[in-house]
Chain A
Amino acid sequence: MVMSEMETGLDRARAIYQDRTRRARELKAEGKQVIGYFDIYPVLEMLTALDLVPYRILGDMNEPITKADACLPTVVCPFIRSVMDLGLKGRYDFLDGVVMAHGCEVAEKTAHIWRTYLNPAYAHFIDTPHTTHTAALEQHKELLKDFKKTLEAFAGKELTLEKLRQAIEVHNEQRLLVRELYDLRKPDPPLISGTETLQVLVALASLPVTEGNELLRQVIRQAHERRDGPRIQPARLLLWGSIIDNTAIIDLIESLGANVVMDDTSLGSRAYFPLVEQTGDPLDGLANRYLVALKSPRTFRETVLTKTKRKDYLADLENRFSYLKDYAQEWKVNGVILEVLRYCDIHGYEVPGLKDYLDHIDLPSIYLEHDYSQAALAQLRTRVQAFLEVIG
C-alpha cells in the first residue's frame, strides 16, 4: 500500500514529516520527475505546469555533518551545511534535477557547489534581484523567461500559458488553504499547535501541490472536529527569523507553557501568504509575486521621506515590519521570539532594528541564536523560560 492511502490529516502530515522522502520516491517509482529546490524564490508554478513535482530540499538537525566539511566551511549557515551534507550522503538521490535561486548569498554559492559535487541531470539558477526597483522587476521577468527555456528543454514539452495559469490557480489555492490553516491558530486555545503546523508545512514542501491541498483540507476539517487540541497558555507567541524545519525548537517553547500561534519564517507564512495575481502574461504576476510581494529581509526596501529627502528610522521600520504588527493583532500575540541561525546574515542584521520596532509597539521580544543542533537548543531553555515568565 502506498503512503497516500495509509493515513489522513495530521497523522499523514506527521508521517511525511518523519519520512519526507518516501512519498517523493513513490512518485518517482510511478514515473514522475521530481525537482528539488532551495528556499522560497524558485518559481514553483513553472514546475507544476510541466507536471514536474517540486520538492523542497531541507536539512536534518539530527544528522551530524560529516561530509559537507569537504566543500563548505564551518562559518556558513548550518542549515545549508546540513542540506549539502544530506546531498552528499545521497538523501536526495531521487531528484531528477534542481532549481536554485538567489535567496541569500550562501544559498546562491551552495547552488554552484551542489552542481559541482552532485552533478544533477538538470540544474537551473535564478538570479533573483535584491531590490524592488523597476529595472529589477523587469530583470526578474527576463530571468523567468530563461528558466522557462531550460525547463522546457528538460521536460521536452512546451510550457503553455494555459498550463501556467492553471498551475498558478492551484498554487494560489494552496496559499489560501494555508491561510485557513493559520486561521486555526487565532482562537484561544488555538485549534492546532505550532508543532503540528510545522509538520503540515514540512509535508506540503514534500508533496505535489494537489496532494498538499488535499492534506490541508483534511487537516483543517480534523482540527475543527477534534477535542484534544492545544490548551490555553499564558503566552501566545510569534516566531520570526531563519528557517525552522524541525519541530524541536517549537516543542521546546510549547513545552514551557506557550502556544506558538504565528510565524514569519521561510517554511511558514512567509512562503505562502502572498498570492500570485493572474495577469495577461502570467510571467508578470509571477515576477512580481516572487520579487515584490514576498516579504523576506533578503529583499531590500527603503523609505525616504519626500519632504525632507531624509530617511526616517521609525517610518522605515514601519514600512519593513508593520505586517508583523498586523499578525500580532490578528493572532493576539503577546510575545515575539527572534530566532536566528548562527551565520545567517540576512536575519542577523534585522535584529536590533526589529527589536526597536517591537519595543515601539510594546511587544516584548527575545533574541535566540543557535547553530541548528539539538544540543544548542537545549541551552536556550532557561532563556525561553525567563522570557515566558516576563510576558506571562
Chain B
Amino acid sequence: MAEGEKKRPINRLKTMYPLRALVDGMYERAVEAGQEGKPVAWCMVNWWGGDAILRAMEVAAVYPEDYGAVCAAFGAAPAYLAQADSDGFPSHMCGYARNCLGYAARMKELGAIPPEAPMGGMPKPTLLLSSGYFCDTRYKWFQALGRYLDAPVWVLEMPHPGVKESRLEGVREHNIKFLVAELREFIAFLEWLLDRKMDWDKLAEIIDDTIEMNRVWYEVNELRKARPCPMHSRDFWSSMPASLYMAADPKVTTGLYRQMYEEVKSMVANHRGAIGEEKYRLAFAELPPWHSLKFFDQLAERGWNFVIESWAYHPPKPIDLSQVSDPLERVANLTYQYFSGYFEDAYNTGDWWGYFAHPYLELVQEYQCDGIVLHPLLTCRTATNHLMVVQDQLMSKLKVPSLVIEGDIVDLNLFDPAEALRKAETFEETMSHYRQVRKEAGMAW
C-alpha cells in the first residue's frame, strides 16, 4: 500500500488496491486448497463460463497467464524461461507459456512448489482448464504441460465467426447452442473427475453475479471518456484481473467495482484527472510490458494519459439477458457478446475483422485519443497479429497516429525503455500535427 501513499506522476485510485489484493488472495486460497487436498485448477482466461462452473463445484482456480505477469514483475521469469528453453520449447513461443512450462518442470523436479515462486506459487493442479479462444497457445501449452503434470486437460470451445458469417440466419443460435453444449460437456467431465454433483442453484447465482460484475466494471470504464480522464491504464491493468480471472466471489468483486465507480465518478465531477496535466490522451494496444510499468510514470510526467486500452481485456457491452432463463445460456450469451459485441458496427462500416481490429476504431473515437501505443510482442501472435491493420486503419480512417514499441510480456530483454522514451518524445509532435489535421477535417477531437 505504500505505493499509493507517495506522490506519484499517476494518481492511483484508492479503490484499485483491494481489487488488486483479490488476485493475491486467489493464489493464497489455491495453495491452501492444495494443502487441504481440495481440487485446484490451472485455468486459461475463459470468459466466465468455465470460471463460474469451477466456482460452483468448489474448485480453487489460478491462472498461469496471470502468473506469467506475476513472475515477470517479480523477476522470477528468466529462470523459468531458461528451463523451458533447455527442455526444447522453441524460444519464439509465448512468454507466459514458457514461464509456466519452466515452472512446472521445476515443480516436478522438486516435487513441491518451488521455494522461490512469487505469491506463494501455484499448487499442483487437479485439472487444467484450457480454452480454444483467440490463440493456439492457450490449448497447446496446456497439452504440453503433460510432460510435467498428470492433470487432465479440458479445452473449452468458443466460436469465432467472421463478421459477415455471423449475420447469416441461424448462426447466432447455433453458436450459443454450441457454447451451452460445451459447458454441459465440461460439467459432465468435472462431475466424473471429482466425483461430485453440480449445485445448479449455486451456479445460477454465480452466473448472475458474474453478469452484474461485468456490467458495473463496464460502467466504470465508460466514465473514463471524461476529460481529463480520471483513471489511467495502470489502474485498469491492476483492477482487470479480478474480473477477467474471476479471482474471488463475483459478489465481492462487484462490490469493489461499485466502490471504484463511486471514486471515479466523484473524480469526474471534480474534474480530476489521473495525471497532473492531461496533454495527450492515448490508447494502449494489447498487453503491457509488466516488467517495466514505470515507463508509464515517465510518460505521465510528459502529460500522457492512457485513457483506454485493449478491447480484449474489457468487459462486454451490456446486453439484456432477462429473457434468457437457462443460466448456462445466460453465460454463453455473455461470452458471445464479449466476442461479437462490435460485429454489427464492424459490418455496417465494411470492416471484416470485428474483434481485435475494429474495436479500436470505436474506442479511439469514443475516448478521443490523440494517439495509440502499439506494443507488438515477439512471443504472442494474438496480441500482435492485428496491430499493423489497426495502425493503418486508425490513420486512414481517423487520422490518429500510432507509436510502435516492440517488447514482450515476460522477457524484459526485448523491451528497451530508453529507446521507447526517445521515440515517445518525437511522437508528441506527430500527435499535435494530427490533432490539427483532424480539426481541419471537422472531426470531434
- Residues of A with Cβ closer than 8 Å to B? 69-73, 75-76, 102, 104-106, 108-109, 111-113, 115-116, 123-125, 127, 129-131, 133-136, 138-139, 142, 146, 149-150, 297-298, 300, 302, 304, 309-313, 316-317, 340, 342-343, 345-346, 348-353, 355-356, 367, 369
Q: Which residues of B contact A300 (CB under 8 A)?
A: 130, 132, 139, 143, 153, 155
Determine which residue in B140, B147, B382, B389 has the highest number of CB atoms from chain A within 10 A of its CB, and name it. Answer: B140
A-B contact pairs, 7 of them (CB 8 A): A73-B384, A73-B387, A129-B157, A130-B139, A310-B152, A343-B92, A349-B93
Cross-chain contact A112 with B162 (CB below 8 angstroms): yes
The CA of A133 and the CA of B132, in the complex, are separated in Å by 12
The residue on B at minimum CB distance from A309 is: B193
The CA of A262 and the CA of B400, in the complex, are separated in Å by 52
Of B30-38, B236-244, B351-359, the one touching chain A: B351-359
Q: Which residues of B contact A70 (CB under 8 A)?
A: 388, 392
B89 an interface residue at 8 Å Cβ cutoff? yes
The residue on B at minimum CB distance from A343 is: B92
Determine which residue in A76, A112, A115 has the highest number of CB atoms from chain B within 10 A of its CB, and name it. Answer: A112
Given contact pairs A105-B134, A105-B136, A309-B152, A127 touches B385 in the complex (Cβ within 8 A) = no
The CA of A115 and the CA of B87, in the complex, are separated in Å by 39
The CA of A138 and the CA of B184, in the complex, are separated in Å by 14
- Flag B77-98 by CB within 8 Å of A: 1 or 0 each: 0000000000111101110010
The CA of A146 and the CA of B379, in the complex, are separated in Å by 34
Q: Which residues of B contact A69 (CB under 8 A)?
A: 388
Determine which residue in B157, B193, B351 has the highest number of CB atoms from chain A within 10 A of its CB, and name it. Answer: B157
The CA of A124 and the CA of B134, in the complex, are separated in Å by 19
Cross-chain contact A142 with B132 (CB below 8 angstroms): no
B381 an interface residue at 8 Å Cβ cutoff? yes
The CA of A146 and the CA of B155, in the complex, are separated in Å by 24
Neighbour of B140 across the interface among A76, A111, A116, A345, CB < 8 A = A345
Shortest Cβ gap from B366 to chain A (Å): 22
Cross-chain contact B153 with A311 (CB below 8 angstroms): yes
The CA of A135 and the CA of B165, in the complex, are separated in Å by 20
B144 an interface residue at 8 Å Cβ cutoff? yes
Cross-chain contact B146 with A313 (CB below 8 angstroms): yes
Neighbour of A298 across the interface among B93, B136, B159, CB < 8 A = B136
Cross-chain contact B88 with A72 (CB below 8 angstroms): no
User: Nearest 7 A-B pairs (CB), nearest first?
Assistant: A135-B181, A349-B140, A130-B132, A125-B162, A112-B353, A139-B178, A352-B88
The residue on B at minimum CB distance from A315 is: B146
Q: Which residues of B contact A131 (CB under 8 A)?
A: 132, 155, 157
The CA of A280 and the CA of B151, in the complex, are separated in Å by 39
The CA of A353 and the CA of B376, in the complex, are separated in Å by 29
B309 an interface residue at 8 Å Cβ cutoff? no
Q: How large is the interface on B (under 10, 10 to 19, 20 to 34, 35 or more residues)?
A: 35 or more
Cross-chain contact A369 with B90 (CB below 8 angstroms): yes
Q: Which residues of B contact A369 (CB under 8 A)?
A: 90
Determine which residue in A104, A111, A343, A349 has the highest number of CB atoms from chain B within 10 A of its CB, and name it. Answer: A349
Q: Which residues of A contact B141 (CB under 8 A)?
A: 349
The CA of A149 and the CA of B167, in the complex, are separated in Å by 12
Neighbour of A71 across the interface among B149, B155, B160, B389, CB < 8 A = B389
B109 an interface residue at 8 Å Cβ cutoff? no
Neighbour of A340 across the interface among B90, B143, B382, CB < 8 A = B90
The residue on B at minimum CB distance from A105 is: B136
Cross-chain contact B385 with A349 (CB below 8 angstroms): no
Q: Classify the secondary structure of B's interface with A.
A: loop
B386 an interface residue at 8 Å Cβ cutoff? yes
The residue on A at minimum CB distance from B408 is: A75
Interface residues of B in 169-217 (CB under 8 A from A): 170-171, 174-175, 178, 181-182, 184-185, 192-193
Neighbour of A352 across the interface among B144, B182, B185, B193, CB < 8 A = B144
Cross-chain contact A345 with B385 (CB below 8 angstroms): no
The CA of A300 and the CA of B128, in the complex, are separated in Å by 13
Shortest Cβ gap from A240 to chain B (Å): 15
Cross-chain contact A73 with B376 (CB below 8 angstroms): yes
The CA of A139 and the CA of B193, in the complex, are separated in Å by 25
Interface residues of B in 111-166 (CB under 8 A from A): 130, 132, 134-137, 139-141, 143-144, 146-147, 149-155, 157, 159-165
Q: Which residues of B contact A340 (CB under 8 A)?
A: 90
Given contact pairs A73-B376, A112-B353, A149-B168, A133 touches B153 in the complex (Cβ within 8 A) = no
Given contact pairs A112-B353, A131-B155, A302-B153, A73 touches B385 in the complex (Cβ within 8 A) = yes
B410 an interface residue at 8 Å Cβ cutoff? no
Cross-chain contact B134 with A348 (CB below 8 angstroms): no
Cross-chain contact B155 with A349 (CB below 8 angstroms): no
The residue on A at minimum CB distance from B160 is: A127
Neighbour of B89 across the interface among A109, A309, A349, CB < 8 A = A349
Cross-chain contact B140 with A346 (CB below 8 angstroms): yes
Q: Which residues of B contact A115 (CB under 8 A)?
A: 162, 352
The CA of A76 and the CA of B181, in the complex, are separated in Å by 33
Cross-chain contact A113 with B182 (CB below 8 angstroms): no
Cross-chain contact A127 with B161 (CB below 8 angstroms): yes
Shortest Cβ gap from B128 to chain A (Å): 9
The residue on B at minimum CB distance from A345 is: B136
- Flag B395-416 by CB within 8 Å of A: 1 or 0 each: 0000000000000000000000
Q: Which residues of A contact B381 (CB under 8 A)?
A: 75-76, 105-106, 109, 343, 345
Cross-chain contact A138 with B392 (CB below 8 angstroms): no
B45 an interface residue at 8 Å Cβ cutoff? no
Given contact pairs A75-B377, A135-B178, A351 touches B162 in the complex (Cβ within 8 A) = no
Shortest Cβ gap from B110 to chain A (Å): 18
Cross-chain contact A105 with B135 (CB below 8 angstroms): yes
